[in-house]
């Protein structure tokens, strides 16, 4: 039998429009707690043409329950939509949503979830989201009761990873761990505490409520862990503990649990994303691996529901992806509430409009990732300074301790944040990759750019992609071994302005930045090693993290 919940409906989402009536307030509010990282926060755009919710609903006829006969967004008077967020442990709570469920700002999966459970239940419903972006289950969100473990990396080095409340994120076996201002599970503690704050003040968030019970948990996460071999390998064990601990912390032993996989990951994948998917399918109650989860845990296999892009790029902001996955999670939750565990065939939503002749299939290039070592300042020299060509090994010093203590960065090799000072190429950074420059290829260079004050917009700079010619003798032509830094550069074919990582309304200085480079049939430097360069700008220090280089075959009309 196939494991992994996918939607029953054909996309017409057989839900009727909300009737505008209040719920039966004699019944306790049924609370569904949504947790995870940035995609659970929601990046589905409402306006903007292709990929927007307006286009999906008003032009394609999808999700008809979201609009009324006059074409206005519907509002559920029986479902409250509440979102709180904060970085790190308890406190620092910011309330972003506290209203009846309707379209307001970017969307996440909460819309599909809320409409499905709201329609299925006579009792009042609260969708309570408590999460923040860029957090890993194996570190930031590690639940209480999780134990320490060891992992040997590809270089044969054995690392110790902490259990709950341990610090730092990892240390080499046999060495003395040095605590930092963050511990394993700190974000878990904070997200749980912030959700409990809402429930302790229930009438502020659900007027005239007479009590509540936590009926279910929805979990959409895994991007951060998928990029780490140790954490992706540990994901199943951590997910099992998460399910048990959430039920314990909220005194809800019978609460249902629904998780959704990363949209870009197909069944059979063997990379980090594949390990995350395998872990999620294993905890599904129908897998049989965990008998205690039978009938109360379900997994949504998200790949057939995604409209492209990936979790790291927030699925390109495509609202259909967020609605499809939310619909599926909502249907799965209702199935568990009704003790139904039937797994059905996978379908993405279809329009309610009259069927038209299908378009010809488009040749969408497969995308793969080129490995980029991101060791941070405790490095082996793979990242180098532009002018000198010297490795950044050991550069991360005590003067930057405030960044670590803020819990916003971690200098360890598998999650390094590195600096690009803006006072010239002596502090701009580059790395030579083992991959050779290819013909008819699209290279997409992505980073998370961070304002050093953690407030406001990223101060600017430049991402560059070049190559190291065979004629480079290691001196750079001026007596400096800098691998031809700043020379032999590809011209960018597209530059995307930095966009907030954790939501448009979150002013934390974290922004995603993407530059695209496209080669022709016989580009200069064909077959030579690629070189990634990152430059800061704006007159202040710039921080960068999560460096990725994607490669795809260019279509005929994209070739230069």
16-41, pLDDT tens digit by residue?
889 889 999 999 999 999 999 989 98
Contact assessment for residue 94 and residue 119, using Cβ atoms and an 8 Å cutoff: no
Same domain, 439 and 329: no
Question: What pLDDT is attached to residue 267?
Answer: 94
Residue 393, pLDDT above cutoff 70: no
Residue 355, pLDDT above cutoff 50: no
More confident residue, 178 or 431: 178
Same domain, 548 and 504: yes
Label residue 46 exposed, middle or buried (CB < 10 Å: 0-12, 13-18, 19+).
middle
Distances (CA, A) of 451 to 20, 86, 248, 464, 511: 44, 18, 38, 19, 8
Question: What pLDDT is attached to residue 553?
Answer: 83
Distances (CA, A) of 229 to 31, 295, 408: 35, 31, 21
How far, in Å, CA of 342 to CA of 3, rounded? 10
Euclidean distance between the first and final Cα of the chain, in Å?
A: 48
Per DSSP (E only), the strands in 119-211 are 125-130, 149-152, 158-161, 171-172
pLDDT category of residue 390 using cuts at 50, 70 and 90: low
**What does DSSP say about strands 76-85 and 158-161: parallel, antiparallel, or unpaired?**
unpaired
Residue 346, pLDDT above cutoff 80: no
Question: What pLDDT is attached to residue 354?
Answer: 31
Residue 380, pLDDT above cutoff 70: no
**What does DSSP say about strands 418-420 and 461-468: parallel, antiparallel, or unpaired?**
unpaired
Last residue of some domain: 337, 359, 379?
337
Q: Is residue 234 part of a domain?
A: yes
Mean pLDDT, residues 382-401 taken together? 56
Same domain, 297 and 397: no
pLDDT digits (tens, 9 = 90+) for 228-279: 999 999 999 999 999 999 999 999 999 999 999 999 999 999 999 999 999 9
How far, in Å, CA of 525 to CA of 491, rounded? 13
- How many CA atoms lie less than 13 Å away from 514 in the CB half-sphere? 16
Question: What pLDDT is attached to residue 412?
Answer: 36
The token pair at 374 is 């991101």
How far, in Å, CA of 76 to CA of 17, rounded? 9
Which residues neighbour 159 within 8 Å (Cβ) at sequence distance 6 or greater? 150, 151, 152, 153, 170, 171, 172, 173, 230
Q: What is the pTM of this model?
A: 0.68
Share of the chain above pLDDT 90, in %: 56
Residue 381, pLDDT above cutoff 70: no
pLDDT category of residue 410 using cuts at 50, 70 and 90: very low
How far, in Å, CA of 49 to CA of 26, rounded? 43
How far, in Å, CA of 360 to CA of 401, rounded? 56
Question: What pLDDT is attached to residue 15?
Answer: 85
Residue 538, pLDDT above cutoff 60: no
3-state secondary structure 341-357: CCCCCCCCCCCCCCCCC
Last residue of some domain: 337, 358, 379?
337
Same domain, 166 and 199: no
The token pair at 65 is 């329950």
Which residues neighbour 227 within 8 Å (Cβ) at sequence distance 6 or greater? 272, 546
Last residue of some domain: 337, 353, 381?
337
pLDDT category of residue 542 using cuts at 50, 70 and 90: low
Same domain, 384 and 531: yes
Which residues neighbour 110 within 8 Å (Cβ) at sequence distance 6 or greater? 34, 42, 81, 83, 101, 127, 129, 326
Q: Is residue 362 part of a domain?
A: no
pLDDT digits (tens, 9 = 90+) for 144-191: 999 999 999 989 999 999 999 999 999 999 999 999 999 999 999 999
Same domain, 539 and 425: yes
How far, in Å, CA of 237 to CA of 355, rounded? 46
Q: Is residue 168 part of a domain?
A: yes
**What does DSSP say about strands 510-518 and 492-500: parallel, antiparallel, or unpaired?**
antiparallel
Tell me the β-bridge partners of 36. 220
pLDDT category of residue 61 using cuts at 50, 70 and 90: very high
SS3 118: helix
Question: What pLDDT is attached to residue 283?
Answer: 97
Question: What pLDDT is attached to residue 400?
Answer: 46
The token pair at 153 is 């990396």
Q: Is residue 345 part of a domain?
A: no
Same domain, 388 and 483: yes
Q: Is residue 94 part of a domain?
A: yes
Same domain, 108 and 164: no
More confident residue, 49 or 145: 145
- Residue-averaged pLDDT of the chain: 82
Q: Is residue 317 part of a domain?
A: yes
Same domain, 387 and 520: yes
How far, in Å, CA of 372 to CA of 375, rounded? 9
Residue 537's region, left for phi above 0, alpha for psi from -120 to 50, else beta, is beta
pLDDT digits (tens, 9 = 90+) for 286-316: 999 999 999 999 999 999 999 999 898 899 9
**Planar angle of CA 483, 376, 386, nearest 5 degrees:** 25
SS3 283: helix
How far, in Å, CA of 419 to CA of 421, rounded? 6
Same domain, 431 and 498: yes
How far, in Å, CA of 94 to CA of 407, rounded? 18
Contact assessment for residue 113 and residue 336, using Cβ atoms and an 8 Å cutoff: no
More confident residue, 369 or 79: 79
Q: Is residue 254 part of a domain?
A: yes
pLDDT digits (tens, 9 = 90+) for 79-138: 999 999 998 999 879 999 999 999 988 999 999 999 999 999 999 999 999 999 889 999
How far, in Å, CA of 36 to CA of 508, rounded? 18
CA torsion sign for 252, 256, 262, 268 is positive
Tell me the β-bridge partners of 31. 126, 214
Question: What pLDDT is attached to residue 6?
Answer: 52
More confident residue, 364 or 491: 491
Mean pLDDT, residues 443-452 taken together? 80
**Planar angle of CA 426, 429, 430, nearest 5 degrees:** 125
* Of 531, 530, 492, the residue nearest 513 (C-alpha): 492
Local structure of residue 209 (DSSP, 8 states): -
Contact assessment for residue 121 and residue 92, using Cβ atoms and an 8 Å cutoff: no
Same domain, 153 and 265: no
How far, in Å, CA of 307 to CA of 304, rounded? 8
Question: What pLDDT is attached to residue 92?
Answer: 79
Residue 478, pLDDT above cutoff 80: no
Same domain, 112 and 159: no
**What does DSSP say about strands 125-130 and 76-85: parallel, antiparallel, or unpaired?**
parallel
CA torsion, ordered 205, 207, 211, 217, to nearest 10 deg: -40
CATH of the domain at 83: 3.40.50.1110
Q: How far is CA 231 from the centre of its chain?
A: 15
Count of structural domains within the chain: 3
Contact assessment for residue 551 and residue 371, using Cβ atoms and an 8 Å cutoff: no
CATH of the domain at 506: 2.60.120
Q: Is residue 350 part of a domain?
A: no
The token pair at 150 is 């060891």
Local structure of residue 316 (DSSP, 8 states): G
Give the structural domain span for 159: 147-180
């Amino acid at each position: 039998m196939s494991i992994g919940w996918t939607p029953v409906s054909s996309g017409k989402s057989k839900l009727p429009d909300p009737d505008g009536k209040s719920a039966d307030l004699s019944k306790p509010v049924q609370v569904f707690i949504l947790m995870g990282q940035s995609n659970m926060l929601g990046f589905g755009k409402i306006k903007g043409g292709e990929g927007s919710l307006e286009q999906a609903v008003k032009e394609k006829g999808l999700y008809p329950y979201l609009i009324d006969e006059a074409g206005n967004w519907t509002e559920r008077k029986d479902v409250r939509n509440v979102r709180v967020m904060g970085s790190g442990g308890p406190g620092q709570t910011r309330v972003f949503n506290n209203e009846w469920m309707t379209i307001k700002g970017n969307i996440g999966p909460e819309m599909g979830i809320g409409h499905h459970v709201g329609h299925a239940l006579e009792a009042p419903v609260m969708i309570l989201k408590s999460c923040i972006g860029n957090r890993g289950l194996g570190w930031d969100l590690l639940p209480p009761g999780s134990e320490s473990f060891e992992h040997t990396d590809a270089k044969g080095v054995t690392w110790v990873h902490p259990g709950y409340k341990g610090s730092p994120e990892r240390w080499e076996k046999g060495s003395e761990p040095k605590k930092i201002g963050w511990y394993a599970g700190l974000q878990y503690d904070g997200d749980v505490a912030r959700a409990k704050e809402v429930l302790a003040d229930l009438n502020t968030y659900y007027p005239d409520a007479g009590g509540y019970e936590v009926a279910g948990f929805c979990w959409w996460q895994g991007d951060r862990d998928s990029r780490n071999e140790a954490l992706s390998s540990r994901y199943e064990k951590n997910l099992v503990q998460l399910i048990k601990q959430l039920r314990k912390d909220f005194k809800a032993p019978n609460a249902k649990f629904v998780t959704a996989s990363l949209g870009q990951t197909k069944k059979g994948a063997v990379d980090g994303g594949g390990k995350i998917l395998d872990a999620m399918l294993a905890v599904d109650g129908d897998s049989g691996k965990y008998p205690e989860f039978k009938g109360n845990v379900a997994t949504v296999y998200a790949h057939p529901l995604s409209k492209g892009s990936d979790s790291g790029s927030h699925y390109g902001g495509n609202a259909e992806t967020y609605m499809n996955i939310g619909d599926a999670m909502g249907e799965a939750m209702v199935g568990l509430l009704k003790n139904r565990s039937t797994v059905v065939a996978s379908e993405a939503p279809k329009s309610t409009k009259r069927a038209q002749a299908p378009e010809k299939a488009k040749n969408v290039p497969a995308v793969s990732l080129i490995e980029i070592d991101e060791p941070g300042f405790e490095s082996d020299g793979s990242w180098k300074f532009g002018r000198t060509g010297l490795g950044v090994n050991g550069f991360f010093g005590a003067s930057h301790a405030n960044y670590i203590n803020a819990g916003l960065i971690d200098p360890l090799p598998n999650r390094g944040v590195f600096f690009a000072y803006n006072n010239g190429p002596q502090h701009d950074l580059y790395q030579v990759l083992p991959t050779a420059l290819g013909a008819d290829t699209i290279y997409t260079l992505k980073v998370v750019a961070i304002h050093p004050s953690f407030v406001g917009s990223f101060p600017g700079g430049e991402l560059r992609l070049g190559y190291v010619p065979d004629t480079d003798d290691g001196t750079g032509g001026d007596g400096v071994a800098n691998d031809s830094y700043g020379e032999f550069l590809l011209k960018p074919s597209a530059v995307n302005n930095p966009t907030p990582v954790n939501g448009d309304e979150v002013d934390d200085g974290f922004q995603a930045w993407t530059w695209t480079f496209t080669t022709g049939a016989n580009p200069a430097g064909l077959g030579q090693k690629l070189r990634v360069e990152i430059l800061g700008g704006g007159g202040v220090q710039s921080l960068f993290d999560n460096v990725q280089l994607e490669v795809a075959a260019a279509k005929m009309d994209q070739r230069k």
